Amino acid sequence: MKRPIHILYYRVATPNLIEVVRVLHERTQLSGHLGAGPEDK
C-alpha cells in the first residue's frame, strides 16, 4: 500500500473535545455509511 487515504468525519463535542464519528477508506461507498450512526436509529 503506497498511500492509504482515509476520510475522517468528526464533530466538536465540547470546546476542548473533538469526537471522531467515522473513519472511512477512500474506496468505501459513502451512501451506505452516512446517516447510519447509533444516534440516527
* Residue 7 clears pLDDT 80, i.e. is over it: yes
Q: What is the pLDDT of residues 13-33, one digit of tens each?
A: 999 999 999 888 776 655 555
Q: What distances in angstroms separate CA 7 from CA 15, 31, 41, one per listed residue? A: 22, 14, 23
What phi and psi values does residue 31 have, to the nearest 5 degrees? -60, -25
* Residue 41 clears pLDDT 50, i.e. is over it: no
Residue 22 forms part of a structural domain: yes
Structural domain for 28, as ranges = 6-40
Task: State the cell numbers at 23.
Answer: 473513519
Selected residue with higher pLDDT from 24 and 39 = 24
Residue 1 forms part of a structural domain: no
Structural domain total, the chain: 1
* Residue 2 clears pLDDT 90, i.e. is over it: no
Residue 24 forms part of a structural domain: yes
Separation between Cα atoms, residue 39 and residue 6, nearest integer Å: 23
